[in-house]
A and B are shown apart, each in its own frame.
Chain A
Amino acid sequence: MNFNNVSKRIERIKFALLSPDEIRKMSQVRVITPDTYDDDGYPIERGLMDLHMGVIEPGLKCATCGGKVDECPGHFGHIELAMPVVHIGFIKEIKSMLDASCKECGRIKLTDEEINNYRTQVSAIDFETMDPEIIDMTLKKIVEIAVQRNICPHCSAESPKVILDKPTTFREGGIKITPKEIRERLERIQDDDLLFFGINKGSARPEWMILTVLPVPPIDVRPSITLETGERSEDDLTHKLVDIIRISQRLRESRDNGSPQLIIEDLWDLLQYHITTYFDNQTAGIPPARHRSGRALKTLVQRLKGKEGRFRANLSGKRVNFSSRSVISPEPFLSMNEVGIPEIAARELTVPVLINSFNIEKMKEWIKRGTMPRTPDGKYLAGINYLIRPDGRRIKLTDQNAEINSERVDIGWTVERQMTEGDIVLFNRQPSLHRMSMMAHSVRVLPGMTFRFNLADCTPYNADFDGDEMNLHVIQSEESRAEARIIMKVQEQIMSPRFGGPIIGAIHDHITALFLLTHNNPLISEDDTLHTTSYIEFEKLPEPVIKDGKKYYHGRDIFSLVLPEGLNIKFKSHLCAGAKDKCEYENDPADTYVVITNGKLVHGTIDDEAVGPFSGVIVDKIFRKIGPQAAAKFIDNVTRLAVGFLSHRGFSTGIKDYDIPKDAISRIQEISNETLEKIEKLVNAFRSGQLQPLPGRSVEDTLEVEILSATGGVRDESGKIASQYLGLNDPSVIMARSGARAKMLNIAEVAGMVGQQSVRGGRLNRGYANRTLSHFKENDLGAYARGFIKSSYRAGLNPTEYFFHSIGGREGLVDIAVRTSRSGYMQRRLINAFEDLKVDDKRRVEDTIGSVVQFKYGEDGIDPTRSDEGQTVDVDYAAYDEFGDEQ
């Protein structure tokens, strides 16, 4: 820590104009030569790199303060401009003052009476406390009166209209007013009139908006860099200042030798151009100044503005150390609380360890091991990268100096130790849309080059493995490690604050596997059982069933191995959702409900509803009843059991899943023909004017609505026919019915019919004049002409259908693109508005000043994370858990 600079509290900030005198006063040197360094590479005196403006080279001392490189803060210099120029930042203000003031006497063009009237209103303005926007609004009306007046009420002089020829030229009756004249006019404005222009007379004079002296920023603001070739490269600002000095010099010489007015004016304009681009190189109306290479220069405004500017890139967000980024891939054998990191990353990322009397011996041993230690059989061991002495100096540990340094360390030193198994790290995937986008994991060092994690964590991160990359941050202090472990660990984030249910759960193949394992309670041979259960931790195998002298195990008994004891739940599975008394897909009517009694699965099928993310009834109940640890253990076991079972049993899907018999196809064709006829009738009725409009709709609308409902109906109908022939022995249907992936609708599209394509909720109607494609007659309202696809994906689409399908498909893509950018911006604004609100110990929501936002968090004091899908308590479940079915 540096105690030389005692920090101070900023009480207030005042914005004012710099006067030429102030600029000269704060300047340490008047810069007169556009050159930077001499042939020996030494800064030229009174040049742009003059030592009075600070030092950037080690070894040199600042000529102003005597400080060395890191001690000297840098000092301003100044350039005396040969002729005054307009400051691009004040164009608007200058225009308004030229418009509203008299060119002769400089008074504001208001009558004395008006001035007296408004003075009371205006003198109430307090620049230090009032909102500038409100001040502006009050003054705008008053100034507008003065602008409209042509004759000065004070000296009766006539003032022609001043026109701003963008960006920096002012004209009066077509004749240019030079900056010099502008300055003279502004000088004439009386201090007492300044208030009407929104200027605080104590802190500014209008003529200061015309530059006569230009401050030169300290060298620290525009350091030159030395390239590898030894060549010096100057900062963009320095380049710009060189131009300014050069032109200013030429202008001065030309003026002094009495050159023709034309030449002087040209040079003056050039000086104006350089100074304008020095401030803002993206001023509308002038070409940006360019570097020799053709790249536009990054000048003052560009340094601050936008996403890459100082505010958003360097102050709101910074780059950090102790972090890494890599491609991600799945690893089902890791716990959901773990993350696998490649050895190369583990050796680079370090944790600081403070040496004390308890660990000094161990640390000496570790230092002796060097930077790349391994066990005798070649396994990874954590090494040490750096030693930090109590005075803060860093020593890089190498295998050569390991021995000596191991002797030098003492209590009070810190060593930077490489990652090791069990370290807590933060893992993050962008866009970080909710708090589960950044969770704490414990480290496993693995071979390979990717970060790896359990598939259950895909949902909260919204990650897949098609090339996604994620970031990892190593926590550097004990406090943050403890905090991360207690509140950021994956298991603590299972419940989503968005809907009060689990957001982490088994996905895709896990659900398929558990469905196969539990649906209709199959018998699993002893061999298969032993293989499957070898993936999980459990105490005792269930009771076997003996059949034909061979041992078998029930699938539900195997699943019950991963359920914690004492768990009682009854709910409807995804498969039987909507079933009343008996579920059509279950052989046993009792299986309509999933029943778990004391940690044993008695009835029902385990699927998405039981273990999936967003629903996950079992995960939800374990988390609430037993705790995060048990829920994590359940998810770890259930995913591993599923992977073990499915990889042993085998499961595959393909086009044959969608084979339906010939008569099914002809039935689908039949209903599609019926619908086509119906649509034709509707169109004919419409043409003959016999179509009865629906209430509140035009005839055209009615036709569209009727046709849409007819085409929607035929698609559903064909889906029903197709699914009659595709049962629960069909892999695609298993995936759809269990909630693992896809919907029955998608199966209907493949096997049955794709159906009507739509754009913005209506049938396709654009393209050519009065028709969608040139293959149809104009004004054809028939089904085929307006995007109806009677083919299935399996049978293949004909060319016009293919076009329509592409049109419908593009709408989806456009929607996604629009939605993400818009919701992203909304999210940003919400976060900026809410970021510093906090909930205090009385559950009151306050801002940083202490103003109350809500007297009780969310108006009910309920943490949505712990709520039961928004409700405070689930009384029904509590009763079921206690008393079972008899209420």
Chain B
Amino acid sequence: MSKFNVLEHEIVPEHHLVPVEEEESVLTKLNVTKDDLPKIGINDPTIKALEEIHGKLVPGRIVKIIRKSPTAGYYEYYRIIVKSVM
């Protein structure tokens, strides 16, 4: 049985890993510190799927999520990977 990739599912929005060197500029653009970013658990299925592409990910990396919106067209959302979400 082939493994299912959640990122290819219709209702899962696009997830991209932000390269370490771009993190600074993303944070400046959003005017936030890493602590204030919304979080995503390292055990999240989408992070597991990203690990298939990028190799092992560590907490502290930033993920860019592109969602479709009926009013705004596309909407960029950023999450920081954390050990566990409460």
Contacts and interface: CB of A to CB of B under 8 A. Distances in A.
Interface in B30-57: 30-32, 35-38
Contacts of A858: 71
8 contacts: A842-B31, A852-B38, A855-B78, A858-B71, A859-B72, A860-B69, A860-B72, A872-B71
Interface in A816-873: 842, 846, 849-853, 855-856, 858-862, 870-872
A861 to B, nearest CB: 8
Contacts of A846: 36
B32 A852 contact: yes
Name A's interface SS. loop
What are the 9 tightest A-B residue pairs by CB atom distance, in nearest-first order?
A: A860-B72, A860-B71, A859-B75, A851-B36, A859-B69, A850-B36, A852-B36, A859-B72, A852-B38
Contacts of B78: 855
A856 B75 contact: yes
A862 B73 CA distance: 13
Contacts of B30: 852, 855
A870 B67 CA distance: 18
A859 B36 contact: no
B20 interface: no
Interface in B47-86: 67, 69, 71-72, 75-78, 86
Contacts of A870: 71
A882 interface: no
A421 to B, nearest CB: 44
Name B's interface SS. mixed
Contacts of B69: 859-860
Contacts of A842: 31
Interface in B1-48: 30-32, 35-38
Contact of B86 (A131, A849, A851): A131
Contacts of A855: 30, 76-78
A850 B32 CA distance: 9
A684 B75 CA distance: 59
A215 to B, nearest CB: 34
B67 A851 contact: no
Given A851-B38, A852-B32, A853-B38, 6 more contacts: A851-B35, A851-B37, A856-B75, A859-B69, A860-B72, A872-B71
A850 B71 CA distance: 26
Contacts, number: 37
**Which of B30, B69, B71, B75 neighbours the largest number of chain A CB atoms within 10 Å of its CB?**
B71
Contacts of A861: 72
B67 A859 contact: yes
Contacts of A852: 30, 32, 36-38
A860 B75 contact: yes
B49 to A, nearest CB: 23
Contacts of A856: 72, 75
Interface in A350-387: none
A6 to B, nearest CB: 32
A858 B35 CA distance: 22
A862 B86 CA distance: 30
A850 B35 CA distance: 9
A842 B32 CA distance: 12
A8 to B, nearest CB: 27
Contacts of A853: 38
**Which of A849, A851, A852 neighbours the largest number of chain B CB atoms within 10 Å of its CB?**
A852
A871 B31 CA distance: 29
Nearest to A134: B84
Contacts of A851: 35-38
A303 B32 CA distance: 44
A650 to B, nearest CB: 49
Interface string A445-465: 000000000000000000000
A789 to B, nearest CB: 44
A131 B85 CA distance: 11
Contacts of A862: 71
**Which of A851, A855, A856 neighbours the largest number of chain B CB atoms within 10 Å of its CB?**
A855
A872 B71 CA distance: 7
A74 to B, nearest CB: 38
Contacts of B38: 851-853
Contacts of B72: 856, 859-861
A457 B43 CA distance: 51
A849 B75 CA distance: 24
Nearest to B69: A859
A346 B1 CA distance: 77
Nearest to B86: A131
A292 B67 CA distance: 66
A851 B31 CA distance: 12
Contacts of B77: 855, 859
A582 to B, nearest CB: 35
Nearest to A870: B71
Contacts of B35: 851
A846 B67 CA distance: 20
A870 B72 CA distance: 12
Interface string A439-483: 000000000000000000000000000000000000000000000
Nearest to A851: B36
A730 to B, nearest CB: 43
Contacts of B67: 859
A849 B35 CA distance: 10
Nearest to B76: A855
Nearest to A871: B71
**Which of A853, A860, A871 neighbours the largest number of chain B CB atoms within 10 Å of its CB?**
A860
Nearest to B32: A852
A125 to B, nearest CB: 15
A861 B71 CA distance: 10
A861 B37 CA distance: 18
A780 B86 CA distance: 57
A856 B29 CA distance: 13
A871 B72 CA distance: 10
B41 to A, nearest CB: 14
A131 B83 CA distance: 14
A859 B78 CA distance: 12
Contacts of A859: 67, 69, 71-72, 75, 77
A856 B38 CA distance: 13
Interface string A753-780: 0000000000000000000000000000
A856 B77 CA distance: 9
B56 to A, nearest CB: 22
A858 B75 CA distance: 10
A852 B77 CA distance: 10
B40 to A, nearest CB: 13
B33 to A, nearest CB: 9
A852 B36 CA distance: 6
